[in-house]
Amino acid sequence: MSVLQAPSRTAAVIVAAGQGLRAGQPLPKQFANWRGMPVVRHSALALADAGITPIVVAIPTGAEPLAQAALEGIAGVRLVTGGSTRQESVSRALAALENDMPDAVLIHDAARPGLTAPVIARLIAALADYPGAIPVLPVVDSLAEADGERMGAPARRELLRRVQTPQAFDYSAILAAHRAWTGTAEAGDDAQVLKAHGLSVGLVEGDEKLHKLTFAGDFTASPSPVRIGTGYDVHRLADGEELWLCGVRIDHPRGLAGHSDADVAIHALVDAVLGGIAAGDIGSHFPPSEPQWKGASSDRFLAHAVTLVTEAGYRIGNVDLTIICEAPKIGPHRETMRARLAELLGTPIDAVSVKATTTERLGFTGRSEGIAAQAVATLLAI
């Protein structure tokens, strides 16, 4: 292994210059709608959310209006016209980054919209040891070579991996490798270009969510019509703190202590919403170790969770929230809380339930040491 340092400035290339005809859509598949938004937008948002900029998107000739509509509002996106092959499109996109001179670049196929933050993190971390890294998955089926219409020699699946994108590279290395390429007009992928240039490529764990959209069935297959998530949170009561519950400030002698505004009700609801799409919990998206979230309004956390739900192809069906405390009394504030949560969730107020209970003075809530909340959220496929 080398002693390369992990890159501090990472850019991205999204290859979206193909015609996508096999997918059977009325427009190139990268601009077709999938789970609530254009295919290419899923990856661009995932990269932008990871702090990667700029993001150069290679598009077909004449596709600027489609691309601009699909990527509207995403910071750092640039468009370049791709070439007649994928490799030519990548080369043009890499050249468009020369003035930026990033330390690293991720090269991703737009047709793989299920890009996740952990995959991005693993790829970037691997560049501390390799000039290139790719996400891979094991081959689980038995394999055999084809001899015409007959089975030929067996293949050793333990030596094989399924290769995905994005693929991560030291920017200068992959740019030089593309410019030095003397092979066929269409290389298998960018990792092969780097390897042909004499450099090594590391392997990291991929993700089944990175399935490539190829055929019409990939667009017609529906997600589960209903998904359910649950959440639970606790914060202690302390002097000198404000008390926020369901996005509503309540006058009370003590407030809830925490890194953010400690709105225990919204925190439980965020976990329920994230749980419904299997997207982790509030701590994985807004770590308390990060100073930027100190004192932050929990409204932002819930808005982020709702955005992820939409990107996954769902909408909020209804939520049911229970606040557990001896004081304050929730009843006088219930309707204000419901209205505020409905606004944040983008749902009718009759889809929001807020209840309260006590523990008959048992436990930490019964001793008024803190407040707990539990929530259930149902998500409906768009």
User: Are 235 and 117 within one domain?
Assistant: no
Structure confidence at residue 23 as a pLDDT band (50, 70, 90): very low
Q: What is the CATH number of the domain that holds 157?
A: 3.90.550.10
Say whether both 173 and 275 belong to one domain.
no
Examine the fold and report which residue of 220, 240, 274 is the final residue of a domain before the chain moves on: 220
| Residues 194 and 276 reside in one and the same domain | no
Confidence of residue 5 (pLDDT cuts 50, 70, 90): very low
pLDDT of residue 22: 52
Q: In this structure, are 231 and 165 located in the same domain?
A: no
Please indicate, yes or no, if residue 102 is contained in any of the structural domains.
Answer: yes
Q: Please check whether residues 204 and 266 belong to one and the same domain.
A: no
Residue finishing a domain among 191, 220, 249: 220
User: Is the same domain home to 156 and 199?
Assistant: yes
Per-residue pLDDT reduced to its tens digit, 146-197:
888 888 888 888 889 999 999 999 999 999 999 998 877 677 789 999 999 9
Whether 177 is in a domain gets the answer yes
How far is the C-alpha of 36 from the C-alpha of 48, rounded, in Å?
A: 18
Domain annotation covers residue 253: yes
DSSP states of 108-135 as a string? EETT-----HHHHHHHHHHTTT-SEEEE
- Looking at the structure, tell me whether residues 147 and 185 fall in a common domain: yes
One domain, residues 193 and 258 = no
Give the DSSP letter of residue 330.
Answer: S
Does the residue 5 lie in any domain?
no
CATH number at residue 241: 3.30.1330.50
- Does 292 have pLDDT greater than 80? no
Mean pLDDT of the chain: 90
Could you tell me where the DSSP H helices lie in the chain? Answer: 39-49, 64-70, 86-95, 117-126, 171-180, 190-196, 217-220, 264-276, 282-285, 298-311, 334-345, 363-366
Q: Print the domain residue range for 123.
A: 10-220
Is 135's pLDDT higher than 60?
Answer: yes
3-state secondary structure of 291: helix
Binned at pLDDT 50, 70 and 90, residue 287 comes out as confident
Does residue 2 sit within a domain?
no
Which residue, 220, 255, 276, sits at the end of a domain? Answer: 220
What is the structure's pLDDT at 153? 86
Bridge partners of residue 57, in order along the sequence? 14, 79
Q: Is residue 3 part of a domain?
A: no
Which positions ≥6 away from 314 have C-beta within 8 Å?
36, 223, 227, 276, 277, 379, 380, 381, 382
Residues 305 and 249 in one domain: yes
d(CA 6, CA 104): 9
Whether residue 109 is predicted with pLDDT greater than 90 in this model: the reply is yes
Same structural domain for residues 130 and 72?
Answer: yes
Q: What is the pLDDT of residues 29-69, one digit of tens each?
A: 899 888 778 999 999 999 999 999 999 999 999 999 999 99
Rounded percentage of the chain residues whose pLDDT exceeds 70: 95
- What total number of domains does the chain contain? 2
Report pLDDT digits (tens) over 305-319.
999 998 887 899 999
Q: Are residues 185 and 291 in the same domain?
A: no
Distance CA 208, CA 188 (A): 20
**Assign residue 173 a region: left if phi > 0, alpha if psi is -120 to 50, beta otherwise?**
alpha
Q: Considering the entire predicted model, what is its pTM?
A: 0.62
Which tokens sit at 90?
A: 């990548």
User: 248 or 18, which is more confident?
Assistant: 248
For 364, the token pair is 């930490």
Relative orientation angle of helices 39-49 and 117-126, to the nearest 10 degrees: 60
Domain for residue 51, yes or no? yes
Residue 289: what pLDDT? 76
What phi, psi does 320 have (nearest 5°)? Answer: -130, 115
239 and 204 within one domain: no
Q: Are 352 and 247 within 8 A, CB to CB?
A: no
Considering the domain boundaries, does residue 1 fall inside one?
no
Q: Is the pLDDT of residue 108 over 80?
A: yes
- Greater confidence (290 vs 208) lies with 208
